[in-house]
Structure 1
Amino acid sequence: MLYEELMMDSGMLTKFKVFKRITQINQSDISITQLSEELSLNYQQVFIIMNEINHDLAKVISTHPSILQKAGKIDSTNLLVTIDEYRYFLLKKSVPFQFILYFLNHDSPNIDDFCQRYYVSRSTVSRKMLPLKRHVKQYNLRFTYTEANLIGDERAVRVALFDALWLGTRGTIWPFKSVPREEAERLAEAFSEYFPLSRTYLGSKELPYFAAIFLCRTRKKIFVSYDERYDFLMQDNPYYDFERLNKELGPRQALPPKYTKGESSFIFFLAHYAPFYTLDDDPSLSQTLHDFSIRPNSVYELVQEFLDYAKINIFKKEPEVLDKPVLIGNLLNIAFTFYVLRQPFPNLQKLVELPRKKKKADELLETKIQVFFDEKVKEKEYKFIYTIKNPLVKMFKSVLLPVYDKPKHSEHLNIGVAFEHNFLLVRRIYQFLNDLGFVDSAPYQEELNEQYDLVISSSLLPRKKYPELPLYFWDLSYDEEELADLYRTLQQLFEKKNIVQE
């Protein structure tokens, strides 16, 4: 289920979809008839929704011009409110979103107080929370109401909370009333060297959210325990500084010794819990490859055995593609996370990517990876794979697919990609761009603004800072029609760039 489907009721979700579509079209004469046909709604429904959206825009910006025109037309070029801002405007009235913010930001949260504050009944809360409850259940998490909270493995809890708050705001506002942004930014900066996120545009903005959630939870005396499965990586490893946390928190906020190790290890675990690596020269990637390879451990052995298998059975004609540090580092992170947790784990990818029909290349690759893990699970050392084999296979496939199905290409356009820092989120757009045959794409860097033909971004923050930047907004939950729109834009840019000047 997509994020908005978990957080919004049906009426709210329809408004968001209509707003999203008029943002994408960006024309001065969009017809309501056209919208109703595209979105499978009748004319009257779209007319009413557009009037509501027009009214909402004036609430966000009091001087916002009307986007409604005569003869059933809409002028989306008049939009001053971004899709991120409108999503957040709607979510402020969403019970699931309100509930998460409530129990994070209040000292003694409980259902009666929540209902009183937000003028809702217990039955309404229970009903509107149902999709989100079902979603978190797959990670063995559950919401409680007498004492309002999300409980389960606290590591999964914090990642699930991050996903909910980041996707609801995309960095446009600071949702943590109990934690000043500056405080979270300082803590994030203190540990930034461990995180590949810190070296990319949106990734550096995600880290303070993780830090704020850390501070919210620990101040409520909700702590993470140390996991002995970290030992081979973190024990007696000077790279992981277990003294740094309390030094940064200072004597007044320092954690008791029995909690410091667990909380510090969780921060280090977060640096590995997803396939974060996208840059070959990332120092944290080099450190990961070093640390996993010099100490005996099942994770490194599993990945190496898989790569040996893949070079013979999957990439026989080009085995060298499996020697890429980024690919190996991402496989190590995935294997490490499943080795430690031994259950599915929250991730942004599932909340933003629309289900797609499986292609032959996907199916064939997945089958070959499945064969490897079907054999591995028979070995005593890898029996833990049995319960998480399916998600593990899919994650490995997601990392390998871009190099498995990559044609030869010649690139001409210089494209910057500013997405949330997660390999599984950016892999599809990179694969799409590379498959075109005339594109060079890489993570967006502000200092290269003058060199870009286009910046494709899931946030409009770069445009706010650089109004002249050629930016193409790309919602992470895109569909095939939007890929066609992007292709047309890129094709036009390519032709323009290659016109011979007389």
Structure 2
Amino acid sequence: MLETVFLGKQDVEKYQMLTVIKSLPKAEINLSAIGNGLGFTYQKTYNIFQALLDDIFDLDPEISNRSSKIESINFDRIAIDSYRLFLFKNSIVFQAFDYGFTNANPTFENFSNSHFTSKSTLNRRMTNFRKMLKNFGLKISNATLELKGDEKNIRWLAYFIYWYTFHGLEWPFKLIQQDTIEKMADRDDNPVAKLQLEALLGISRVRLIKHHYLEDMSGFDELFPQHKLGKDLITRADYSLIPMDKLDNENKYINTLKDFCFQPSHFLVPESPDLTDQINPKIYGLAYKFINFMKNKYQSKFEITSDPKAIKYLADDIVRDIGFYYIIAHDAQIKLGSYTRDPSEYNTLSSTYESIYNFFANVDPNEYGPIRNSVESIAHDLYKVMINYIRGVSDEDILHIKVLTDVGNQVEGLLMNTLSSMEFIAVQPSNVYKNVDILITTLDAFPDAEGRDRYPDDLIVIPWNQTALRSDYMYLLVRLYHIYTDKLQRNHEKGSRIEY
């Protein structure tokens, strides 16, 4: 979670609270539901909510003119991206990073004077940021607040931070004008890719203005031997004083993302460019070797059609990921995975993740050294890809749910249909008691009417309204998924092998 790098504890909790609020149906937005979603006590939930309200009123004064009662607040007016940007802009750590990256002649003394902060205070608050930099093989200068290390990694870290923070809401770089960059971005086919490309080009221009050049792009040359990839956007007309080999490297870096990584999956857009003939065959060879490894490991649980086209499309997605790290992490490690997930998700990472990690951790270091530099990041990325093809939840992780509703009421059918859509759920007969995780019932008399002691001590009871709306059924699945991941976490902590 990038928020934990730049924000203090309370700001992280406020941000998490807003994400929970935005995930709840409007009828379910109350302090108890919010606290349950966060695992907070009622008093802590109340305190954090009051602090969140202060921020919301600053962001949108119209809300404060109406009411501070939770049921009267229109949370649709506050976007998560906007609130994240608000918090980051007020973060002294983000301000220090942004100052060092974009200022033409940064010094710590000037930053300290303008932000009324001492070096010791800033260093203390930047502890998590320095840890993040270490995962990219980078450091930050105590004298200038500039990043030091391999230029490829500096560019990628900067892109990751600026794109995640601003997310198309505002132009991040005061040092350069956005309109000069907009003219260069040639991605009219996709408005999101165009915004991402503008951010990349903005970072490129900032670094070139400050005379920070890409000295080595040998990973690109190895991956795309004797081939140009895409249209060059950085031209001699724009940068007449920069050596041609440096401009060439600049275009290689931009095109790696523009024409390779930012291309849509062939599963979504079959007519996307096919780079099979341009890329070094050893990368596709590794992708197919990995697919076969997963097939052999998961056997019937690995569900993918035997159609060669579908397998090729999957290989394309894998190649885009490992090829990116082969180029960008060619000279220094990149460990990005821990900043693209909520920390709570780590305990539910499965053997699928471990299998991916172990495969790429054991590739030949002489042939695939850059991939060895990025095993954690690759495993996190490909976990999100491969989990779509691997099915099967281990017996100990199944949620056993019992449903007790009014006989003859159609609600039972709706509940059963909803529950049957999730593979981690097993509905239990009404005469089963011991192996029940959750009881969903339309009668508040249960489970006491049957004898509470017949059920497990940790039974979760979900009362169900017979007049529930379709949206309530959708939220039920979200709630059950959270309960399922909690069970995964408990099993993981017991040393169980998780198979999902």
- How many residue pairs align between the two structures? 399
Could you tell me which residue of structure 1 aligns to residue 313 of structure 2?
Answer: 326
Could you tell me which residue of structure 1 aligns to residue 433 of structure 2?
Answer: none
Give matches, 1:123-142, under 5 Å: 123-142=120-139
| 8 Å contact kept, 1:29–1:74 | no
| 8 Å contact kept, 2:201–2:254 | no
Could you tell me which residue of structure 2 aligns to residue 447 of structure 1?
Answer: none
Runs of 5+ in structure 2 lacking a partner?
A: 394-420, 424-476, 484-500
Could you tell me which residue of structure 2 aligns to residue 262 of structure 1?
Answer: 249
Judged with a 3 Å threshold, the aligned counterparts in structure 2 of structure 1 residues 99 and 336 are, in CA distance, closer, same or farther, namely same
TM-score (norm 2): 0.67
Deviations 1:433-475 (A, max 9, x none): xx769xxxxxxxxxxxxxxxxxxxxxxxxxxxxxxxxxxxxxx
Give the drift of 1:141. 1.1
Aligned partner of residue 211 in structure 2, secondary structure: coil
1:9 aligns to 2:8 (yes or no): yes
Could you tell me which residue of structure 2 aligns to residue 429 of structure 1?
Answer: none
Give matches, 1:20-419, under 5 Å: 20-25=19-24, 27=26, 30-36=29-35, 38-66=37-65, 68-69=67-68, 73-77=70-74, 80-189=77-186, 192=187, 199-241=189-231, 244-246=233-235, 250-251=237-238, 255-271=242-258, 277-280=264-267, 282=269, 285-292=272-279, 297-310=281-294, 314=298, 320=306, 323-324=309-310, 325-340=312-327, 341-342=329-330, 343-345=332-334, 347=336, 350-356=339-345, 362-363=350-351, 366-367=354-355, 370=358, 374=362, 376-377=363-364, 381-382=367-368, 389=375, 392=378, 395-405=381-391
Judged with a 3 Å threshold, the aligned counterparts in structure 2 of structure 1 residues 352 and 180 are, in CA distance, closer, same or farther, namely farther
Give the drift of 1:130. 0.8
Give the drift of 1:32. 3.6
Give the drift of 1:40. 4.4
| Amino acid paired to 2:278 | D
| Amino acid paired to 1:334 | D
Structure holding more helix per residue? 1
Judged with a 3 Å threshold, the aligned counterparts in structure 2 of structure 1 residues 25 and 245 are, in CA distance, closer, same or farther, namely same
* Alignment partners' CA distance in 2, 1:399 and 1:30: 33
| Amino acid paired to 2:255 | F
Aligned partner of residue 273 in structure 2, secondary structure: helix
| 8 Å contact kept, 2:335–2:377 | no
Give the drift of 1:381. 3.9
Percent identical among aligned pairs is 17
Judged with a 3 Å threshold, the aligned counterparts in structure 2 of structure 1 residues 68 and 18 are, in CA distance, closer, same or farther, namely farther
State the superposition RMSD in angstroms.
3.9
Aligned partner of residue 203 in structure 1, secondary structure: helix
Deviations 1:279-320 (A, max 9, x none): 44758953322212xx5x532332344445555555578562
Judged with a 3 Å threshold, the aligned counterparts in structure 2 of structure 1 residues 310 and 18 are, in CA distance, closer, same or farther, namely closer
| Amino acid paired to 1:202 | V
| 8 Å contact kept, 1:156–1:346 | no
Judged with a 3 Å threshold, the aligned counterparts in structure 2 of structure 1 residues 48 and 261 are, in CA distance, closer, same or farther, namely same
Judged with a 3 Å threshold, the aligned counterparts in structure 2 of structure 1 residues 179 and 482 are, in CA distance, closer, same or farther, namely farther
* Alignment partners' CA distance in 1, 2:150 and 2:259: 17
Judged with a 3 Å threshold, the aligned counterparts in structure 2 of structure 1 residues 116 and 253 are, in CA distance, closer, same or farther, namely farther
Deviations 1:373-422 (A, max 9, x none): 64x538x6457765655654554444333123399xxxxxxxxxxxxxxx
TM-score (norm 1): 0.67
| Amino acid paired to 2:285 | E
Which structure has the larger Rg? 2
* Alignment partners' CA distance in 1, 2:382 and 2:193: 22
* Alignment partners' CA distance in 1, 2:193 and 2:7: 26
Runs of 5+ in structure 1 lacking a partner?
A: 193-197, 408-434, 438-478, 486-502
* Alignment partners' CA distance in 2, 1:230 and 1:82: 38
Aligned partner of residue 274 in structure 2, secondary structure: helix
| 8 Å contact kept, 1:366–1:397 | no
| 8 Å contact kept, 2:63–2:74 | no
Aligned partner of residue 387 in structure 2, secondary structure: helix
Could you tell me which residue of structure 1 aligns to residue 416 of structure 2?
Answer: none
| Amino acid paired to 2:246 | Y
Instruction: Please identify, of 74-83 and 38-47, the stretch whose mean Cα deviation from structure 2 is larger.
Output: 38-47
